[in-house]
């Protein structure tokens, strides 16, 4: 249950039997394909989810950076982000385990919408916990969950964002654990979640690895992926980890500054891998944004989906062992990355993914001749945020949108 | 605080407090709610009212095992600026008949060494700016030793960690043993079979029997899970105290009658503190009288068990 | 240039040479694959667009209707609708033709966004004409076009919707025809547009035909697709037209009523195939919603993307000859179709596509044992509209969304 | 309206009006802008001012060939309730020296038979409710005959259809021939080679030479495309009149000098009508004097062509 010193199962006793049950199910259904679980999962991801997603050569970025840039297009997955890989896998697993109800937390709403659509598809009752603040700033995603028949439970505690939603979902789970499965949305949480989620998400890298060899004739020199909790990162990297020639870059949200204000308990970033310290949060030992006393601080990023004070334990381990290079890109560079891909390639990326693109702009010289960048999701959900945040700044890559004045 | 000199029959103050005051009342409040000064007065009231053990919560920002009541208390305590250092200062300062335990989350224990370590002299506002390479060298390995050492020094008798199952408890178990402090484990309604055996073999002080699935919080009745858990545990010799949802004397009576050695009450007391707001005496009085009611209930339940002639107390 | 009595080239003389040039290009590049045009088109549709899209068995709809229901998932195409098939094809064709600039009209914004992303992808300057009313009610799509670097030109004439935008785009084209290509968004307009657009869109039916034979072992008994201008319809039907055993249903927007108020010049529907009369609009003879005098009336549908007073001439012909059955579904039934698919299958369909799903609900008994329904696009763009329109009605299938009240 | 009895040398009134009044001025306004009554007065003013031919626009809801000025006029006319029936009533009522032409879009011509047909006795508000099967049986085949017949009956001399290229014109060409009405074709700057030959062979009355790419509308100067087009057309014997963008006497002069037989002015006149709003006499006077200026310009250009000694008029 650990990755070096990271991982583990730091949860209330009441949940331990459920984690054991889940570990058992993970081994039987996921690893051993019992009852054809993985066959059904792959078939549904193909027909319902739209896999495989393309690996696209980005012609204009390749020209701009003087090297071959390929984009792994998870934005084309049903729901608009890589999140469905995990959500569908876990909801299906819950079904195989005989669970009758699904709960999940969501921050920006991407995992919540993915879970809601997977639950609708598989006819599982579903409740999503979401912070009050997030509900109010991510209305379209709330609508989508409701349209898919999921309940959305507002969480008013604390700042009303992802961290509090996770806490509340754990509380629900501690109450209803016998018949309920908690679909954790990233490679975080207690064992076996980090492995389970990584397993479902590793299809990203597995496809990309095959595709890049077919299309470019060889393995890439580097793979770049954005990292919040790390499911897109681990999903993109996992199959490449044994390929020692492939450099792996996990790009976190640098926010507005890498400094933490421990007085107010706020980190204006979520660069956990770069700046975090070891501790226990949400069931696992991992790197965290915390005060010296051990209180978890509020992280911040222009991208709500990266806005989390923890990170997957496996990713912490891969960083400590030097296999993965942590990096971070601040809000401004991420916004420029958003505008650049939209304008040059006709792909509007999620703000999460825009961090990977911001890194590409700054450090392409270090990435070798053949680079794979994962576009973890599409940016339609981020349009309002991008407009607001762009307006506050003087960004080189931004178009004006003065079409509305009568 | 120094433990009472009148408890020679057990190596554990905690176990002694339960066995000798059987049926025992264990009370909980959050330290720093609404201030550490108030907490001092409240703990003294709990003690006066007849608590046999007192748990003090050291607030952590992510209290995943707590219901809304104790979450509220923790938030108030954090907003009041409660720190581990302040918490231990309070403990140093307290004199009670009842032994004291700390209830906190594992990360608070892990990081204590960190904040006490020499590198804490770096001002807090100078956060890690570090690029990746520096980050690793700056990293402190979190350890449990400093916390346990400080707890023992302050005279705490035990530690309860709601997010630390037996599987992850070895380092803390070892440190507690070194410093002669009890590590109380929680037994949930879902804890069964081999895991139950393993946990019961590691328990020291008492087994914290979780009355029902879910989080802490006052409830209107005693769950059937409580009865089931107590009967599942009846073969184990360790003292058993039941918490999660106990709010009235009658609950206490019923639980003791069902075979528990003690009852644990938290949210019902935190509610009283919350209702009174900041600043103390009326709240302290209300706490004291609530504790008396609960203790009476427990004793009533105890009488029913030992004296077969007594009429059954009403069940809900 | 005609389909029976329909079609033709009713345009200003100034445009005729450009249409001849386009016809020539259509024959050389599209039909004869000159310079590998179609190869490049297909490759880009795969890597950039995400083709093939899945054909998914809809388990819960199949159960509900007691027959096999398969969904052709055009909602998974890049941009979120089938529109990219045509937009990318035409922008690429314009490039092969040596044009330097792209213009297009858009109503709901779907064709505009598809064209803008295709133009960004292929590095072509792009201007989109859009009615002022549509601009104000489809803000996210306007943002998307601007993000992709396209100019958006507001059209204030008339009611400020699609019809006026087409008129204005034609005017631009008449001015700049020598270096500009007009990317018409549906199987409408003067020859060769109806054939050209149908050719690019026919990939929908070609894939579906192959997939249904692989997955269900035979051809379907019927294919159901929504029809506005008809590009999704013709795209879905074209490859099935020679299969006489396959019934083809074109489902139009019945709006709030099939009656036309000629006094006010308003049709509260856009059921052109069912209720229209023959005439000439936007370059072609076809079925139209018009007054007895020949004035085009304002159509209406809850789905902005179906809201057009004309329809493709080939579709008019296929209806007249009995090969395609025209049908219509009113606003209420379309909204129920939207909610039903969202809740039962975890797919939020475009309001356009919801008309096909509404038809399925009402008439599934007539459709045989094996039915293919095209989900032409995703419904994220329609969330606000659906909420507003649902609130006005008492709809069986609608969830409440009361999560926002504090 | 009856054509003047003084035009025996040509079978076409239209061609006669151009040849005999060379260099000719052709004027355009939209019928019904702002009302049919006003239009009557305006047409008479155009006639008085010296128009040699007058085009009247029959408004269509989708005027794809018009710029903003004439679009505005068409919208005003439609809002005023202008119908084909009302249009023809106006024509019936007009008496002018200049022959009259109708300019309208093809669908208006196609549907005229429809609205005049017996089934029009169905009230307009009873729209097709028809399910699919009925729809086909109710469908009227649109035809051009009734419109042309009615135009001839009203005394119109010609028809111009901006969205009807030569390739689609056979039915209308045939109907016009049957009723002795001219069908004027537009020649665009992009019209060349074989297509130009074919169009010029079908032209009757005159060739409408489009001065530049784009839509109708007043412009500040004469485009080089005009000169190119006229030189491309110089070998054809048909009268050539230039429109699109002509707004001043000097434009008219330059165009005639470049070899045109006439100039066509529309938007500049529509602007005058729009500026004056509803209700008449001042607008009529302004129209009349603008027409005089334009005709003078045309004549000046004509003098320059015929009298080589004249100094060149200023070019922009």
Task: Note the pLDDT tens digit of each residue in A20-67.
Answer: 999 999 999 999 999 999 999 999 999 999 999 999 999 999 999 999
Residue C94 has pLDDT above 50, yes or no: yes
Average pLDDT over residues D158-179: 96
Burial class (CB in 10 A: 0-12, 13-18, 19+), C28: middle
Contact (Cβ atoms closer than 8 angstroms) between residue A128 and residue A108: no
Report the alpha-carbon distance of residue B164 to residue B151 in Å, rounded.
Answer: 18
A83 among known catalytic residues: yes
Where residue D134 falls among pLDDT bands split at 50, 70, 90?
Answer: very low
pLDDT of residue A402: 63
Q: Which backbone phi and psi does A43 adopt, to 5 degrees?
A: -65, -45
Instruction: For residue C129, give the 3-state DSSP assignment.
Output: strand
pLDDT of residue D280: 61
Q: What percent of chain A has pLDDT over 70?
A: 98
Mutation for C interface: A147, A343, A348, A406, most C CBs within 10 A: A147
Q: Sketch the domain layout of chain B as residue ranges.
A: 13-116+142-307
pLDDT of residue D9: 57
Residue D315 has pLDDT above 50, yes or no: no
Q: What percent of chain C has pLDDT over 70?
A: 98
Burial class (CB in 10 A: 0-12, 13-18, 19+), C290: buried
Structure tokens at B44: 């003294």
Q: What is the pTM (predicted TM-score) of this model?
A: 0.92
What is the edge-to-edge ordering of all strands in the sheet holding A324-330? A55-57, A68-73, A370-375, A222-226, A247-255, A324-330
Where residue B277 falls among pLDDT bands split at 50, 70, 90?
Answer: confident
Where residue B40 falls among pLDDT bands split at 50, 70, 90?
Answer: very high
CA angle centred on A131, ends A126 and A132, rounded to 5°: 115
Instruction: For residue D67, give the 3-state DSSP assignment.
Output: coil
Q: Which residues of A touch C54 (CB under 8 A)?
A: 46-48, 50
Residue (of A263, A265, A289, A266) closest to A278 by Cα position: A289
pLDDT of residue D218: 77
Q: Which backbone phi and psi does A387 adopt, to 5 degrees?
A: -65, -45
pLDDT of residue C339: 96
Residue at token pair 């240039």: C1
What is the edge-to-edge ordering of all strands in the sheet holding A284-288? A2-3, A6-7, A284-288, A277-281
Where residue C169 falls among pLDDT bands split at 50, 70, 90?
Answer: very high
B55 among known catalytic residues: yes
Report the alpha-carbon distance of residue D28 to residue D21 in Å, rounded.
Answer: 17
Report the alpha-carbon distance of residue C153 to residue C167 in Å, rounded.
Answer: 13
- CA D128 from chain center: how many Å? 34
Report the alpha-carbon distance of residue D166 to residue A62 in Å, rounded.
Answer: 49
Whether C127 has its CB under 8 Å from any CB of chain A: the answer is: no
Report the alpha-carbon distance of residue C368 to residue D272 in Å, rounded.
Answer: 65
Q: Which backbone phi and psi does B241 adopt, to 5 degrees?
A: -120, 140
Report pLDDT digits (tens) over C1-40: 899 999 999 999 999 999 999 999 999 999 999 999 999 9
Where residue A180 falls among pLDDT bands split at 50, 70, 90?
Answer: very high
Residue A124 has pLDDT above 60, yes or no: yes
pLDDT of residue A207: 98
Residue D70 has pLDDT above 50, yes or no: yes
Q: Which among C54, C344, C383 has the least Cβ separation from residue A47?
A: C54
pLDDT of residue C159: 80
Report the alpha-carbon distance of residue A269 to residue A326 in Å, rounded.
Answer: 14
Q: Which residue of D has its CA nearest to C287?
A: D139
Query: CA D75 → CA C157, C282, D62, D239, distances in Å?
Result: 9, 18, 10, 32
Report pLDDT digits (tens) over D200-243: 988 899 999 998 888 888 787 888 888 888 999 999 999 999 99
Structure tokens at D191: 């019209």
A:32-51 residues touching chain C, CB 8 A cutoff: 46-48, 50
Helix (H) or strand (E) holding C280: strand C277-281
Query: CA A115 → CA A250, B307, D176, distances in Å?
Result: 25, 56, 68
pLDDT of residue C231: 97
> How far apart are the two ends of chain B, measured CA to CA in Å?
40
A62 among known catalytic residues: no
Other CB atoms within 10 A of residue B8 CB: 7
Query: What is the C-alpha R_g of chain A?
Result: 20
Q: What percent of chain B has pLDDT over 70?
A: 84
Across the interface, whether the CB atoms of D62 and C292 are under 8 A apart is answered no
Q: What percent of chain A has pLDDT over 90?
A: 83
Catalytic residue among A83, A95, A287, A381: A83
Average pLDDT over residues C43-58: 98
Average pLDDT over residues B288-313: 79
State the average pLDDT for chain A.
94
Class of B13-116+142-307 per CATH? alpha beta
Rounded to the nearest angstrom, the minimum Cα separation between A243 and chain C is: 25
Report the alpha-carbon distance of residue D21 to residue D239 in Å, rounded.
Answer: 12
Q: Which residue of B has its CA nearest to A309?
A: B62
Report pLDDT digits (tens) over C250-277: 999 999 888 877 677 788 899 999 999 9
Residue B106 has pLDDT above 70, yes or no: yes
Average pLDDT over residues A155-173: 89
Average pLDDT over residues A374-378: 97
Q: Which among C175, C295, C319 has the least Cβ separation from residue D78?
A: C295
Where residue B150 falls among pLDDT bands split at 50, 70, 90?
Answer: very high
Residue B2 has pLDDT above 50, yes or no: no
- Helix pair C331-345, C383-392: axis angle to 10 deg: 120
Higher pLDDT, residue D8 or A41: A41
Query: D209-226: b or e for each residue (b if 16 or more CB lie within 10 Å)?
Result: bbbbbbbbbbbeebbebb
pLDDT of residue C118: 98
> DSSP state, C3?
E
Report the alpha-carbon distance of residue D67 to residue A277 in Å, rounded.
Answer: 68
Report the alpha-carbon distance of residue C392 to residue B276 in Å, rounded.
Answer: 47
Q: Which residues of D touch C263 (CB under 8 A)?
A: 124-125
Residues β-bridged to residue D57: D30, D103
State the average pLDDT for chain D.
86
Other CB atoms within 10 A of residue C213 CB: 12
Question: What count of CB pairs under 8 Å joins A to C?
Answer: 148
Strand spans (E) along chain B: 24-30, 53-57, 100-103, 158-160, 182-187, 207-210, 240-243, 262-265
């Amino acid at each position: 249950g650990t990755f070096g010193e990271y991982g583990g199962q730091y949860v209330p006793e009441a949940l331990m039997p459920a984690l054991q049950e889940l570990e058992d199910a993970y081994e039987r259904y996921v690893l051993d394909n019992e009852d054809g679980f993985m066959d059904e999962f792959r078939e549904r991801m193909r027909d319902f989810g739209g896999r495989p997603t393309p690996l696209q050569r980005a012609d204009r970025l390749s020209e701009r950076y003087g090297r071959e840039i390929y984009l792994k297009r998870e934005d084309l997955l049903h729901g608009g982000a890589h999140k469905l890989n995990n959500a569908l896998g876990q909801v299906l697993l819950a079904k195989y385990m005989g669970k009758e109800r699904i709960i999940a937390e969501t921050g920006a709403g991407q995992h919540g919408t993915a879970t809601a659509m997977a639950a609708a598809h598989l006819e599982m009752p579903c409740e999503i916990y979401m912070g009050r603040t997030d509900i109010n700033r991510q209305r379209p995603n709330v609508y989508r969950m409701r349209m898919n028949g999921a309940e959305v439970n507002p969480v008013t505690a604390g700042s009303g964002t992802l961290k509090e939603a996770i806490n509340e979902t754990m509380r629900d789970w501690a109450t209803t654990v016998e018949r309920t499965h908690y679909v954790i949305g990233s490679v975080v949480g207690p064992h076996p979640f980090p492995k389970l989620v990584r397993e479902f998400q590793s299809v990203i890298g597995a496809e990309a690895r095959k595709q890049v060899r077919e299309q470019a004739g060889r393995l890439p020199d580097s793979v770049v992926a954005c990292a919040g909790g790390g499911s897109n990162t681990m999903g993109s990297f996992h199959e490449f980890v044994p390929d020692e020639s492939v450099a792996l870059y996990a790009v976190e949200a640098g926010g507005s500054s890498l400094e933490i204000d421990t007085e107010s308990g706020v980190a204006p970033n979520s660069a956990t891998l770069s700046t975090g310290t070891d501790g226990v949060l949400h069931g696992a030992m991992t790197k965290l944004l915390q005060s010296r006393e051990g209180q978890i601080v509020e992280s911040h990023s222009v991208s709500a989906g990266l806005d989390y004070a923890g990170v997957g334990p496996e990713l912490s381990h891969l960083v400590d062992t030097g296999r993965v290079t942590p990096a971070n890109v601040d809000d401004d560079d991420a916004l420029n990355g958003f505008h650049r891909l939209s304008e040059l390639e006709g792909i509007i990326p999620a703000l999460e993914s825009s961090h990977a693109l911001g890194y590409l702009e700054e450090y392409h010289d270090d990435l070798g001749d053949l680079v794979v960048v994962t576009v973890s999701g599409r940016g339609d959900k981020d349009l309002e945020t991008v407009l607001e945040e762009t307006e506050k700044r003087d960004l080189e890559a931004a178009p004006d949108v003065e079409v509305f004045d009568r | 605080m120094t433990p009472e000199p009148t408890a020679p029959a057990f190596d554990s103050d905690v176990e002694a407090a339960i066995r000798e005051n059987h049926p025992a009342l264990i009370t909980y409040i959050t330290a720093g709610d609404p201030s550490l000064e108030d907490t001092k007065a409240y703990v003294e009231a709990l003690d006066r009212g007849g608590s046999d053990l007192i748990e003090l919560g050291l607030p952590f920002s992510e209290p995943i095992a707590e219901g809304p009541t104790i979450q509220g208390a923790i938030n108030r305590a954090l907003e009041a600026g409660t720190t581990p250092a302040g918490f231990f200062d309070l403990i140093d300062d307290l004199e009670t008949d009842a032994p004291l335990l700390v209830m906190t989350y594992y990360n608070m224990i892990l990081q204590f060494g960190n904040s006490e370590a020499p590198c804490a002299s770096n001002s807090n506002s100078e956060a890690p700016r570090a690029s990746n390479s520096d980050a690793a060298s700056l990293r402190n390995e979190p350890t449990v030793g400093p916390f346990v050492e400080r707890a023992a020094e302050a005279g705490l008798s035990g530690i309860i960690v709601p997010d630390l199952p037996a599987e992850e408890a070895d380092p803390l178990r070892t440190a507690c043993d070194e410093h002669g402090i009890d590590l109380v484990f929680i037994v949930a309604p879902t804890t069964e079979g081999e895991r139950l055996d393993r946990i019961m073999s590691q328990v020291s002080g008492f087994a914290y029997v979780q009355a029902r699935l879910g989080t802490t919080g006052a409830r209107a009745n005693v769950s059937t899970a409580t009865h089931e858990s107590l009967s599942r545990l009846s073969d184990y010799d360790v003292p058993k105290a039941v918490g999660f949802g106990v709010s009235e004397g009658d609950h206490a009576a019923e639980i003791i009658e069902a075979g528990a050695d003690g009852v644990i009450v938290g949210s019902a007391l935190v509610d009283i503190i919350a209702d009174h707001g900041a600043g103390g005496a009326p709240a302290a009085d209300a706490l004291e009288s609530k504790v008396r009611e609960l203790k009476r209930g427990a004793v009533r339940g105890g009488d029913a068990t030992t004296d077969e002639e007594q009429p059954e107390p009403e069940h809900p």
